[in-house]
Amino acid sequence: MTTGNGAGVTVAGAGALGLCIALQLARAGRRVTVCDPAPVGDNASGVAAGMLAPVFETLLDPQGDDELTFLRMARDLWPAFAATPIDRFGAVYRGERADAVRAQLDALGVDWRDTADGPLTPEDWRLDAGATMTRLYVLNEQAGVRFETRAATGDDAGLTVLATGAGGAGLAPELACLTPIKGHILRLAGGPSEGPVLRGDGVYLCPDPAGALLGATMETGVDDRRVDPGQVDGLRARGERLYPGLGALRARADVGVRAGTPDGLPMVGWSARPGTLLAVGARRNGWLLAPLVARTIAAYVAGDDPGPYAARLDPRRFDNESETP
């Protein structure tokens, strides 16, 4: 299904995916409305660390063949997409497995070098998630996108894109195969303000002038946004091992809920529900993937070739898992 040029599209969800999709569609000349009941940035996208990290995500959280090429392709779309500032200090591994990580970096064939901290790759970048949300809002408004503070109920006329993160239950059958993954992240009052992201096992530290970010927990199957002191203590302890002295700093804990699919890749493409496209399940890499997802959705809307990864992201790959009894 495609729509004629100028036909209206409703994007449900104003996270990283929804905002990038809306912008891409508006730039292609579509009339776009974004609806979301939540305040700006009150979602997983708003609390995220903003790492655009094809190398360390492939290395520390592998999700299948050819992942590095796919994630690199997504990262490379960012500079031209929203002109948001991007840190390119790279990322360095600090931990007990440094020799194994060096061997993995060699096997992946990525650019890396040794430093006093451990192996560093300049290939992983980072953006400021909060500032980029604001930037995307402004760009959308300039492109003529309308914003409505309401939940999508499935009654909107025309085409709807569901970019509802871990929400949206009942709006399409495929959403039933998403798993929520709660994540805590700490905004420290201090810590390093600039430099490469430090990656450890089960922990990372992003230097930031507004206070370094220490992330993040992965609590699979948990779908609430309450701060859990036990998870915060565990994260602090891992942070202290990664960067001694952090444990003593004051910190604000934020919580977001990611959405994951059974194979760790997002669902991007047509739903079984007529007139509905899906852009959900970006798990740990929603910021990294957002422009690529936006481009893929815009191609579907226009009836163009959705690109080399469309089949791997097609929601129909889970048809048996999303069938309702």
What residue ranges bind ligand FAD (CB under 6 A)? 12-18, 35-38, 43-45, 47-51, 151-152, 163-165, 167-168, 171, 183, 185, 215-216, 256, 258, 280, 282-288
Smallest distance, ligand FAD to C-beta of residue 160, A: 10
Provide Rg for the chain, Cα atoms. Answer: 19
Smallest distance, ligand FAD to C-beta of residue 139, A: 16
- Measured from the CB atom, the residue of 43 and 140 that comes closer to ligand FAD is 43
- Measured from the CB atom, the residue of 119 and 168 that comes closer to ligand FAD is 168
Q: Could you tell me if 55 and 105 are in contact, meaning their C-beta atoms sit under 8 angstroms apart?
A: yes
Smallest distance, ligand FAD to C-beta of residue 217, A: 7
Q: Indicate the angle between helix axes 129-142 and 16-27, nearest 10 degrees.
A: 30
- Measured from the CB atom, the residue of 120 and 133 that comes closer to ligand FAD is 133
- Measured from the CB atom, the residue of 120 and 297 that comes closer to ligand FAD is 297
Smallest distance, ligand FAD to C-beta of residue 82, A: 14
Smallest distance, ligand FAD to C-beta of residue 38, A: 4
- Measured from the CB atom, the residue of 76 and 102 that comes closer to ligand FAD is 76
Smallest distance, ligand FAD to C-beta of residue 5, A: 25
Smallest distance, ligand FAD to C-beta of residue 96, A: 23
- Measured from the CB atom, the residue of 5 and 134 that comes closer to ligand FAD is 134
SS (H, E, C) the chain: CCCCCCCEEEEECCCHHHHHHHHHHHHCCCEEEEECCCCCCCCHHHHCCCEECHHHHHHHCCCCCCHHHHHHHHHHHHHHHHCCCEECCCEEECCCCHHHHHHHHHHHCCCCEECCCCEEECCCEEECHHHHHHHHHHHHHHCCCEEECCCCCCCCCCEEEECCCCCCCCCCHHHHHCEEEEEEEEEECCCCCCCCEEECCCCEEECCCCCCEEECCCEECCCCCCCCHHHHHHHHHHHHHHCCCHHHCCEEEEEEEEEECCCCCCEEEECCCCCEEEEECCHHHHHHHHHHHHHHHHHHHHCCCCCCCHHHHCHHHHHHHHCCC
- Measured from the CB atom, the residue of 42 and 102 that comes closer to ligand FAD is 42
Smallest distance, ligand FAD to C-beta of residue 99, A: 26
**Separation between Cα atoms, residue 257 and residue 21, nearest integer Å:** 20
- Measured from the CB atom, the residue of 103 and 176 that comes closer to ligand FAD is 176
Smallest distance, ligand FAD to C-beta of residue 282, A: 4
Tell me how many degrees the CA angle 239-243-244 measures, rounded to the nearest 5: 100
- Measured from the CB atom, the residue of 44 and 232 that comes closer to ligand FAD is 44
